[in-house]
Structure 1
Amino acid sequence: MDPMQVFDRRLVRLRRDRAAATVGRVAPILDAAAERLLDRLDDTTRRFTRALDLGGRGVVAPRLAARGIPFVVSADLSAAMARGAGGLPVAADEEFLPFAPESFDLVVASLSLHWVNDLPGALIQIRRALRPDGLFLASLPGLGTLQPLRDALAEAEATLRGGISPRISPFPELRDGAGLLQRAGFALPVADGEEMPVAYRTPLALFSDLRAGGEANAVLARDPRPPPRALFPMAAASLPQGPEGILPGLRLIVLTGWAPHEGQQKPARPGSATHRLSDALGTTEHRAGDRAGG
């Protein structure tokens, strides 16, 4: 097996095809994530005219149109999901984007890049599809997301079978976000994290939402055998519950990057400062090794 291939992309597409009819059940979660992400647009005075909604599942494109963006394309690995996404529909693999260079001045990927095998390659293609000084905004689940469910399933499967199989997708770490953007050639890269509060009254509601959103297991290394009948009930019984119910943990990594442009702000050249920090702070500057005491 190719170590670079973590996910079964055909299975991801099939799951999203099926989820096109049920994704409305998880619209509140998708809405909340999209709203948090698109709030970042309020931090810039730039006005956008051509936007790509990448995997927005019906909640991103309408928000972009409501912001006055006249041309919005909705691309999705699933043609059925793209048709219901709200923009001009295009069935497209995130790993092989079919768009010409400099096609858009804004690309938004809300909770849609975590099933991509070659994330650095996908980011390079997104950057190429942006016009100079175009903006890329993305959110994806980060390390720690669904950790209680991951632990519960592992413990239950170890008890029932004496071993474990990957049943929850691996998620990236926040510290890798800005580096990925830099490797892809984005300017002014920023990665930050957000906790998104989500609670479920029952484990079955959590399992149902994962299926409804097309988020069921598609890891290539998964056990191909049918799971033991007792696996999910046993895992559900061990999920920790608080006053608000089951907290699956949804930790978002938010990525912001710009396609390079000569007019963008650039870091100062080392040694080019014209003012001392001590003057700005009103303090006395001491050489290394000198004592600062009186």
Structure 2
Amino acid sequence: QPLPAALWRPRRDNPPQPIIRRGRRKPGGRAIARSAAAASPPAASSSGSGALSPFDRGLKRKQKNWAALQAEPAKCDYLREEVGGRIADRVFDIPRTFPLALDVGSGRGYIAQHLTKETVEKLIQVDIAENALKNAVESEIPTVSVVADEEFLPFKEDTFDLVVSSLSLHWVNDLPRAFKEIHQVLKPDGVFIGAMFGGDTLYELRCSLQLAELEREGGFSPHVSPFTAVSDLGHLLSRAGFNTLTVDTDEIQVNYPGLFEVMEDLQGMGESNCSWNRKPLLHRDTMLAAAAIYQEMYGNSDGSVPATFQIYYMIGWKFHESQARPAQRGSATVSFGDLAKINGLISRGKK
């Protein structure tokens, strides 16, 4: 189903382009460390002509396309489906119907499968990976697929009643800009509900790889990408123009047979590392040492090992005159000193 022309943002002659800072890479060899997972750009990365680009977005697109073309792509979707369901629960908590919604970084439609037509009448799904959109899971909501970058949404201002995003924004190079783009396409009194990985995600894998590499090779490189701190998330949303903010955290722990299974599933999720400064190769003995360290430091009594995924959930509204505002300073009619007499005050009010 084609997207109505009225929703598209007018094409500009000179659209802004991110400045890419390419890290040094050693030639040859398969990058075993690329299966180490995911995270987000530093919250301090700035926008504009001096912006840093820590992630190779072209490689991330290839990783997600590869994962979507596997024989059983749903085999590694358990985490995305769980978080997508929790995002949908937050949408259901808002007692209204959204005529037009946008899913930023939708992947195979992990949020759409949990929504209903009574809540969202039409959903636009946006992702950089066309194979993920082609192999989207079924949903009862009418959907339209658009291949686009999360940092450069091709829609007009004040278009959508709702914008959702699940486990995608941690791979954008310019998170402040992405939040501003989302705020721009929202209608006044529209709401953004999103989720992204937090700072404690895969700390077991990170520590095991670093200790093993330090022991076997005399130093270590980052194999798990940097994450945005929860203390910065509210500030970034506020700076983008959102108000009535809610930010909360949650943890999901998954048990695996060992380190190699953790990395295999991360690759199947399309969550392999795509940092420009990633190390292209980890030696075999380093990987074996990391697996032993993982088991020794974090192993469960049944022989499995845990992998922790910390999730940040965020809700932000675009300003509208009808929204509730704080009362004016000094307008209170009851003193805090009268709180002990609150029952009596309520009784008098009822009379």
Question: Which deviates more from structure 2 when the two are superposed, residues 131-140 or residues 3-12?
Answer: 3-12
Question: Which deviates more from structure 2 when the two are superposed, residues 149-158 or residues 17-26?
Answer: 17-26
DSSP 3-state at the match of 1:264:
coil
Instruction: Judge conservation of contact 2:63–2:272 (CA < 8 Å) in 1.
Output: yes
Of 83, 99, 118, 1:33 maps to: 83
Counterpart-to-counterpart distance in 2, 1:100 and 1:83: 24
Which amino acid letter does the alignment assign opposite residue 55 of structure 2?
F
Q: What corresponds to 1:19 in structure 2?
A: 67
Which amino acid letter does the alignment assign opposite residue 241 of structure 1?
G
Q: What corresponds to 2:41 in structure 1?
A: none
Which amino acid letter does the alignment assign opposite residue 314 of structure 2?
L
Which amino acid letter does the alignment assign opposite residue 80 of structure 2?
L
DSSP 3-state at the match of 1:253:
strand
Which amino acid letter does the alignment assign opposite residue 171 of structure 1?
F
Instruction: Judge conservation of contact 1:109–1:137 (CA < 8 Å) in 2.
Output: yes
Deviation at 1:68, TM superposition (A): 4.4
DSSP 3-state at the match of 1:205:
helix
Of 106, 112, 124, 1:73 maps to: 124
Instruction: Judge conservation of contact 2:186–2:318 (CA < 8 Å) in 1.
Output: yes
Question: Which deviates more from structure 2 when the two are superposed, residues 197-206 or residues 105-114?
Answer: 197-206
Q: What corresponds to 1:242 in structure 2?
A: 300
* More contact order relative to length (CA 8 Å, sep ≥ 6): 2
DSSP 3-state at the match of 1:45:
coil
DSSP 3-state at the match of 1:248:
strand
Instruction: Judge conservation of contact 2:103–2:163 (CA < 8 Å) in 1.
Output: yes
Does residue 262 of structure 2 align to residue 206 of structure 1? yes
DSSP 3-state at the match of 2:283:
coil
Does residue 84 of structure 2 align to residue 43 of structure 1? no
Does residue 348 of structure 2 align to residue 257 of structure 1? no
Q: TM-score, normalised by structure 2?
A: 0.76
Question: Which deviates more from structure 2 when the two are superposed, residues 159-168 or residues 207-216?
Answer: 159-168
Q: TM-score, normalised by structure 1?
A: 0.90
CA, structure 1 residues 41+3, in 2 after alignment: closer, same or farther (shift >3 Å)? closer
Instruction: Judge conservation of contact 2:163–2:186 (CA < 8 Å) in 1.
Output: yes
Of 232, 237, 241, 1:185 maps to: 241
Does residue 217 of structure 2 align to residue 165 of structure 1? no
Counterpart-to-counterpart distance in 1, 2:321 and 2:63: 42
1:28-177 equivalences under 5 Å are 28-58=78-108, 59-65=110-116, 68-86=119-137, 87-177=143-233
Which amino acid letter does the alignment assign opposite residue 234 of structure 1?
A
Question: Which deviates more from structure 2 when the two are superposed, residues 132-141 or residues 191-200?
Answer: 191-200
Instruction: Judge conservation of contact 2:160–2:190 (CA < 8 Å) in 1.
Output: yes
Counterpart-to-counterpart distance in 2, 1:7 and 1:207: 19
Does residue 282 of structure 2 align to residue 227 of structure 1? yes
DSSP 3-state at the match of 2:149:
coil
Unaligned runs of 5+ in 1: 284-294
Question: Which deviates more from structure 2 when the two are superposed, residues 108-117 or residues 80-89?
Answer: 80-89
Instruction: Judge conservation of contact 1:37–1:110 (CA < 8 Å) in 2.
Output: yes
